Amino acid sequence: MANSMGINYGQIADNLPSPEDVVPIVKSIGATKVKLYDADPKVLKAFANTGVEFIVGLGNEYLDKMRDPAKAQAWVKQNVQSHLPATKITCIFVGNEVLTFNDTSLSDSLLPAMQSVHTALVNLGLDKQVTVTTAHSLSILETSYPPSSGAFREDLVDCLSETLSFHQKTGSPFLINAYPFFAYKGNPKQVQLDFVLFQPNQGVIDPATNLHYDNMLYAQIDAVYNALASLGYKKLPVHISETGWPSKGDEDEVGATADNAKKYNGNLIKLMSKKTGTPMRPNSDLNIYVFALFNENMKPGPTSERNYGLFKPDGTPAYSLGISSTSNVAGSNTTTGGTNGKPLPPIPTPPSTPTSSSTGYLSISPATERYEFAGTVLLTALILTKMLLW
């Protein structure tokens, strides 16, 4: 087990500290991995010789261009090879939540773009140290209840199968963005707050496996593991490329408080330090990237979108993480069922293919081109909607 903290470093703001000043901030929280949404040369140079691992991003607007092998190789040369080995770039993620945009031009370009970037790495002799992947929304799942029944949307299976084959052949991880915050925000009377914040709680039991879950994120991760296994990819590693909790929100954004953000992110960091996996994969590494490093004042959308940061732009903490102690954190107890939890009762399957924002708002999360469906359309975020009947 080698769990280590990752952090998302978004820069949709006009008041952030210089990359050189960000280096000690990243180290202050014990983060050893950073995920960018581009390949900002100033950031990559600032982190040279620090040992911090980087995932760099190619936005959705680059997908069509990256289908051209020559253009992909030019991009890799300029944005990756030029920084190696001083800056430890280990992964490139091509596109963000592409398959849930319902945009065939984007989805049709995804795998060819990934293949071109990988081919460029091979040609440059970098494929053994840099992998290629893409990040998905949890709404690629058709079902997430119980975790043992996790399955991908039927309309995405063919496309996903080709991408999964690419992951298996190249040894790259499967990235998922997961936000239990949306589950609580959408159903605060039915979703138990302690369950989503990793606080001590009774938990629930998956009736098919008898595994005990005392936090929502682990249930979501295991639903993804099961969805992968159902397509024959049981051994594919899953990384949580984004998860977090806002410290401030609009009046209708229930739960968006500094205290809840402190509990969610602080408890999550404690769990990662324990070097334990999920109930279904107790011996697998937890590769999790917290969203986000800074509050970003230029992000559109509700107030919460500008308040996911662990830090304010001046480098001071947005709130205390309180990570000096690892006691009283959910996720550190036994993972088998028993008197500590209740079997999960059936819940209706939510709509699998959102067609508009009428069933929930579109919150623009880490980058301007990336959307997280909230409300009734976020599939696994509804895992407890009608489940916790205490």
The encoded tokens of residue 55 equal 């995932």
Please calculate the CA angle 129-137-37 and round it to the nearest 5 degrees. 50
- 53, 142, 242, 305: the active-site residue: 242
Q: Do the beta carbons of residue 17 and residue 309 sit within 8 Å?
A: no
How far apart (Å, rounded) are the C-alpha atoms in residues 248 and 261?
9
- Known catalytic residue at 61: no
d(CA 26, CA 338): 40
- Dist CA 217 CA 60 (whole Å): 26
DSSP SS3 for 257:
coil
The DSSP 8-state label assigned to residue 17 in this structure reads P
First-to-last alpha carbon distance for the chain, in angstroms, is 35
| Rounded distance between C-alpha atoms, residue 345 and residue 11, angstroms | 42
Query: Kindly report the CA angle at 358 between 308 and 94, in degrees rounded to 5?
Result: 50
E strand or H helix that includes residue 176: strand 174-177
Q: Map tokens 């697998």 to a residue.
A: 284
Q: Is 154 a catalytic residue?
A: no
Euclidean distance between CA atoms 292 and 104, whole angstroms: 30
Half-sphere exposure for 29 (CA within 13 Å, toward CB):
33
Residues in Cβ contact with 180 at an 8 Å cutoff, skipping those fewer than 6 apart: 196, 215, 216, 217, 220, 243, 245, 264, 381
The rounded distance, in Å, linking the Cα atoms of 153 and 353 is: 8
Q: Choosing from 20, 53, 61, 97, which is the catalytic residue?
A: 97
Nearest to 182 by CA among 386, 388, 372, 390: 372
CA-derived radius of gyration, the chain: 20
* Active site (catalytic) residues: 97, 242
